Structures are given as C-alpha cells and as structure tokens.
Structure 1
C-alpha cells in the first residue's frame, strides 16, 4: 500500500482546475463550481499544513503543488525548507526522504538543554554529563561532554559539525 495518496488529476487537469503563484505559495481556484469561487484560495488550514479537497478526498497542498509544477506524483516526502508547513512557495519546498525530513525538524518543546540533540546524562555513580546524539545511517552516534556551560557549547559545536557533514542541505540546528 502506498504511503501517500496519488493526486487524482494529471498535471494538465490540475492546471485547468487551479492556479498557483510560486512567489506567494498560494493555490487558488480557476473557475467557480459547487462551493468554490474563482480566484479564491483553495484549501483549508490544518494543524501544521494546508489541505485541499479533490474528488472527495483531502490532499496536502504542498503535494498538489509539486504535481502542478513538475507533473510528477511525489512518491517521497515533500519538505518545507524553513520548517513552516503553511509556506508553500516553490523555493521553500523540496523532495526529501523521511530521514532527511526528520533532520530538518526544529527543537522539541520538552528539550531541557536548549540544544537539539543534547541531553543530560547521569551514570550509575551519579556523575552528570552532557550527551550529544545524532543519527547516522540508522545508527546512533554519541559523544559525552562535561556537565558545564563550556561542555554544552562543545556539544553544540560537535553536533553542528556532524550535521553539516552528514545531513548537508537538510541540516537544522533546531532553530528558525
């Protein structure tokens, strides 16, 4: 079973149905029909992304835009470079693997160190350290640092260097 639903229209049919402004990222209806009004923005806002209803099903707007622009039904994930799921400008979306898309996530709200990938580690003797962790080809790579402000800075630098060398253009330090 496919992970993503294929868009039910060809590129030509999408271009007859919808207009897309690549500079603003707005998808709009070309003609009025049913409850749709020509020129009105197509779709609705969900929690993190925009959706549009086509043939009785909802689709991510960024995936519809990908097919509208390339003619290709995206088999992979579509990543928002700046991490903002509502920003569907053409310069902000790109094809990505699930792993690449995960690399581009922001810092989690429950992070206590303030640095993406760094957590407090306490060994059996009660000795505290900073533990920096990064995923490399499905395997975890870790390095420990002293539990000081300097140790936290060193952990952050190590992770930044690792991200740049491993994740390339998808590297994200957790902040936008």
Structure 2
C-alpha cells in the first residue's frame, strides 16, 4: 500500500471512496462525499493534509483536514475528516495508515491540535482524547461524547475555547 498526497487526478476516486465508505442505503449519496468536494471548492481543504491510500493502482482510502477556528485563533487547529476506506479494504490497516500520515503531516506543519467527531474506541489508539479534557467545546453540545482532539508538538494549554469547522460542515 502506498500513502501519498491527493492529486487533482484523484478527485473522482476520492468522491467514490467516501460515497462507498459511508453509504447507508442504496442509491443515496452520503453527505461525506460532497462534503470533501465542497471543502475543496471553497478553499478550506488543506492540500498538504489530504492523503490517499493506493493498492494495486486503485485509490482505496482518503483522509483530509480542513481549516478550522479554535476560539479566536484560525491557525491553531484543523478539523480531520472525513476518513474513508472502501468497504472491501476495511480492517486491512488502510485507515490507521492514513490517520498516522495525516497526524504526522499536521505536526510537521506546526498545528497544535487535530480535532474530529468520531468513535473514541477507534481514535484513542492514535492519542485522541475527548475535547472536554482540553477545554475545547464542540459546535454542537450533543457531540461531547464523540468530539476528540489530538494534541501535537505545537499544542499549548492556552489552546482552548469553542471549535468551529469550515463552513461546509454546517451545511451537512
């Protein structure tokens, strides 16, 4: 498996990955697929934090981060997601490889926090903790049990406050 930055030629495959990874019912496109398209179109998808997993020449997974605001600071944190893997490749290490890659890249770029809404049982292995432990509040109070952050090297205890995703997230 190869993990590399997403290229413009990958866009259709990335859309397909999220459509298949999050499909809940036949014939209905899940919101995660057009969300990535909207983040990209609006300039909020961070290109240096958008990665694909490739097996045998096929894009089988994708992860990205987008711009975010923590309190009054737009440069401290990024929002991770969506993370998608084609169902035929679940439980094969693709998702883990993508998360490790995006966390390492976000750390190298100097971000303090990577924030996501997801299953704590899955993301704890990557060092994510509930945001309440860090003084970060989710956009929706109902998310508290699943709203997590991963502190990186640039994290400081002063990185606190209300978290806001890029605008495309509020439309899903």
Q: Which has the larger radius of gyration?
A: 1
Same fold (TM over 0.5): no
Higher share in strand = 2
> TM-score category by the smaller chain?
under 0.3
